[in-house]
Structure 1
Amino acid sequence: MEDVKLFWEKVKRLYKVLCQDEWSATTTGIVVALLSILIMAWWRPWGAVGAIRNWGDWMLYGVGAFSGDHLAQLTGFIDEDGDFLLKKSIWFNSGSVIGLGLVGGAFISACLGGQFAFRFPPVREYVKAMVAGVLMGIGAALAGGCNVGGMYNAIGNLAANGFAMWVGLIPGALLGLWLLYKEMEHVSWGSGGSFTLNIPYPVQWIFGVAGIGVLIWGARTYAGYEGDDFEEYITSLSGIVLIATAIGYAMQRGRWCMIQGFREPHMTGDSTMARSVALSIVIVAVGAAVLKYGVGARLDGEAVLAPMNYVRGTFGWGGLVGGFIFGVGAMMAGGCGSGTLWRVGEGQIKLWLVVPFFSLSNSLMVALFKNFDVEANGWLGKYVYLPDVFGYGTTLAMVFLFATLWYLIVSWNEDSNKLLLPM
């Protein structure tokens, strides 16, 4: 009997570590990086704005602003007769499936950990959410992605445009922080009205287990899909949804938000998240180099992952200005692209409002850019895959140097407070 009791204690301890304790930023950054490599090896890098834009595309289609032909061009879902396949909706777009997985993973994590609640913010935050969503959508369109596809996975995928967005994010976050200070000092309107609707933990736990059940059902449904031209594509979504859910779970468990890595060094001096993001990018870069390098022993010497994945023509003013605008918006929202999605999954109502405005503004901007071939014409910057210029070894050394300098500067600031923005 004592042995059974001891074993049960071990089970409860493991559950607490995996489902209830907050993971360290370093642990979460490593887990997210490894899952990022895994999803790249499975099919493609993950992102946040692809899902959000897809949802905006369908909203605009629903109100008649986008035609079926236009949506088909954006989604690529056209049958062998050239007809638009309406059934290929948010459930079948790979970017959307990733976004749904992130939200679902965060929901499962929050419920199993007893952290899900409907958190209604003060009235003023609703206005900020709408403005923030619009800014994030515009910034992500200019930069070729949000903080994930435009910066984290862009640098991790050895693309120069990721560095451009990173440079723009810093002053954007600083301006957003300055505006936050001014709001605290001068704006009193709309400060009331916040409340939290809590849900009993046993009910949350049931929802969490049900979420796992839905995930398994969804993955099995994708894996067993058959019957049209997109069978191979759709069956591959089974792995996408599982890995994306794991990323969302890890992010919520560690409260891992990249914009915090740009905010905290200048607000409190804390460099924990910044160091974690830097380390995570390095790990992704190593994995991407392995997957993108054309090893001769592979079939025809081809790479596992297409080298141009997440290389965008925004290495220039598009990445810089887009990063700046996105940084301001993310500070107003209280979450970056990925941070917004996992916060949606834990019940933060402000971020629920950010998403549709983010969706619509990004969808409209990207449609405008596609109509005039803005990126293809080089109006936002250049396409630069760094290994094509420097080789893989030098490129990885550059990423290591970048991450090391970032790590050292924020660590130095943690002790010196030289980079703090005064209130």
Structure 2
Amino acid sequence: MSENNIYIVRKIREGHAAFFEKTWPSWVGALLIAFISIMMFAWGRPWGVVAGMRNWGDWLFVSMGLYTKTIQSPLINFASIMDIGLIFGAFASALLGREFSLRVPPRIEMVKGFIAGILMGIGAALARGCNVGGFYSAISAYSLGGFAMMIGLIAGAYVGLRYLLWDMEKFPPKMSTPAAKGTKKIKYDWRPVQPYIGVAVLVAGILASFQYSAFAYTKAGGFLLLGLSIGVVMHRSRFCFVAAFRDPFMTGDSRQTKAVALSLMVAVIGYGIIKWAGLRGEMVYVTNTFFFGGLVGGFIFGTGMVVAGGCGSGTLWRVGEGQVKLWMVLVSFALTNSLVRYYMDTTGLIEKVGRAVFLPDWITYKWSVILILAILILWYIAADWNEEGDVFVID
């Protein structure tokens, strides 16, 4: 091999190590997620997760004849495509970092995950979205329902953590039994080939997005690319909404809390420019969840996500890296949300969980931006203060 070729190979390996073998700083993930979220909104719709999961549940129940409604195929539904892209983006990232493996928990954890997914499905139905659509994108879209869910998520995370601490005290995990002497487990180490498979997955995703354009589904192809991007970013930065709401009570660690607050500050400005310029409707993602739907839904969802170990987006990227417990969460989350939302739609309950409040209608865009940024900055400061003194940490 020539010296030039050796140099190129070495630089490729160095670049790969820098991007895919190290965890990105939380603030980098925060800024990239805000940027991708703004791009999604500009491209056609805000970032959401639960709508895609619900589409999968709806598709199954319609196929079984339980629903009498028409739905889009998961392969052309924008929300579904974003979720699929997120899973495969995280899958590719895990492979590129040689981190993918099937992590199978004890059976009791699988059961807890399934029950937690049910809670998340109910909570997301009441709040008209999970931690992404009901909280992150709702606040970015200037919906007061997003702040109602934020309060519910904080309270739910506290209760969920209290349950986990009680569970660990009453039912401590059993130590694994060592293997008998003389037995050997032969396991093929496929980590060296994982990066090559990861590249293949990313290339396949990019080609699939262009194929959508070839069939006149250009927007769908764009959402697939954006979903892939956000999956890679979330996995590489370990961006976690659960940790943002749980860790201040558990360890005092504020990194994820401050990352979410920072990401929202950027997204609020981006969404505001798009709406103020008239590029998207002012009431987009301003749902009638203020105050009951957002608060109660956020509380139920927050409790479930802490027990599950993954929120809406966190469930998807952890599914992509091979965490089997989150596979169970995904199944029960999608099916429960579909069933509860179908019931709420058919009974009219969906219209009775609160009001749709668009903040600029009350205090103009300028003061809305100032108020929301002030709240997020206070959240950021409170998280940092708590980290210094463990003020809210549960003993």
Is 1:122–1:192's contact at 8 Å kept on the other side of the alignment?
no
Amino acid in the other structure paired with 2:367: T
Amino acid in the other structure paired with 2:385: W
In 1, Cα distance between equivalents of 2:212 and 2:169: 52
What's the CA shift for 1:50?
Answer: 0.9
Match of 1:335 in 2: 310
Match of 2:378 in 1: 405
Match of 2:213 in 1: 223
SS of alignment partner, residue 375 of structure 1: helix
Match of 1:84 in 2: none
In 1, Cα distance between equivalents of 2:126 and 2:55: 17
**Counterparts in 2 of 1:24-423, with a 5 A limit?**
24-67=25-68, 70=69, 72=70, 75=71, 88-188=72-172, 200-225=190-215, 231=216, 234-294=217-277, 303-376=278-351, 379-422=352-395
From the superposition, tell whether residues 36 and 203 of structure 1 become closer, same or farther in structure 2 (CA, over 3 Å). Answer: same
From the superposition, tell whether residues 395 and 183 of structure 1 become closer, same or farther in structure 2 (CA, over 3 Å). Answer: same
Is 1:124–1:191's contact at 8 Å kept on the other side of the alignment?
no
Amino acid in the other structure paired with 2:39: L
In 1, Cα distance between equivalents of 2:248 and 2:77: 37
Amino acid in the other structure paired with 2:235: Q
SS of alignment partner, residue 29 of structure 1: helix
Q: How many residues in Structure 1 have an aligned counterpart in Structure 2?
A: 386
Amino acid in the other structure paired with 1:90: P
Is 1:146–1:337's contact at 8 Å kept on the other side of the alignment?
yes
What's the CA shift for 1:291?
Answer: 0.5
In 2, Cα distance between equivalents of 1:63 and 1:190: 41
TM-score, normalised to structure 2's length?
A: 0.94
Amino acid in the other structure paired with 2:273: V
In 2, Cα distance between equivalents of 1:252 and 1:3: 33
In 2, Cα distance between equivalents of 1:191 and 1:44: 48
What's the CA shift for 1:190?
Answer: 7.8
From the superposition, tell whether residues 40 and 191 of structure 1 become closer, same or farther in structure 2 (CA, over 3 Å). Answer: farther
**Root-mean-square deviation over aligned CA pairs:** 1.8
Match of 2:11 in 1: 10
In 2, Cα distance between equivalents of 1:314 and 1:198: 51
From the superposition, tell whether residues 13 and 187 of structure 1 become closer, same or farther in structure 2 (CA, over 3 Å). Answer: same
What's the CA shift for 1:256?
Answer: 0.8
In 2, Cα distance between equivalents of 1:91 and 1:202: 32
Q: Deviations over 1:325-354 (max 9, x none)?
A: 000100111011000000000000000011
SS of alignment partner, residue 314 of structure 1: strand
In 2, Cα distance between equivalents of 1:198 and 1:342: 25
**Farther off after superposition, 51-60 or 334-343:** 51-60
Amino acid in the other structure paired with 1:210: A
Q: Deviations over 1:143-170 (max 9, x none)?
A: 1100000001110111110000000011
From the superposition, tell whether residues 198 and 308 of structure 1 become closer, same or farther in structure 2 (CA, over 3 Å). Answer: farther
What's the CA shift for 1:396?
Answer: 0.6
From the superposition, tell whether residues 338 and 191 of structure 1 become closer, same or farther in structure 2 (CA, over 3 Å). Answer: farther
Is 1:312–1:384's contact at 8 Å kept on the other side of the alignment?
yes
Q: Deviations over 1:274-322 (max 9, x none)?
A: 000000001000000111113xxxxxxxx11222121110011111000
In 1, Cα distance between equivalents of 2:176 and 2:346: 44
Q: Deviations over 1:33-76 (max 9, x none)?
A: 01111111111111110111111111212332123xx1x1xx3x
What's the CA shift for 1:220?
Answer: 1.5
SS of alignment partner, residue 306 of structure 1: coil
Is 1:116–1:199's contact at 8 Å kept on the other side of the alignment?
no
Is 1:124–1:190's contact at 8 Å kept on the other side of the alignment?
no
SS of alignment partner, residue 103 of structure 2: strand
From the superposition, tell whether residues 261 and 3 of structure 1 become closer, same or farther in structure 2 (CA, over 3 Å). Answer: same
From the superposition, tell whether residues 14 and 328 of structure 1 become closer, same or farther in structure 2 (CA, over 3 Å). Answer: same
In 1, Cα distance between equivalents of 2:136 and 2:214: 33
What's the CA shift for 1:375?
Answer: 3.0
In 2, Cα distance between equivalents of 1:191 and 1:153: 42
In 1, Cα distance between equivalents of 2:196 and 2:3: 29
SS of alignment partner, residue 102 of structure 2: strand
**Farther off after superposition, 201-210 or 36-45:** 201-210
In 1, Cα distance between equivalents of 2:224 and 2:21: 23
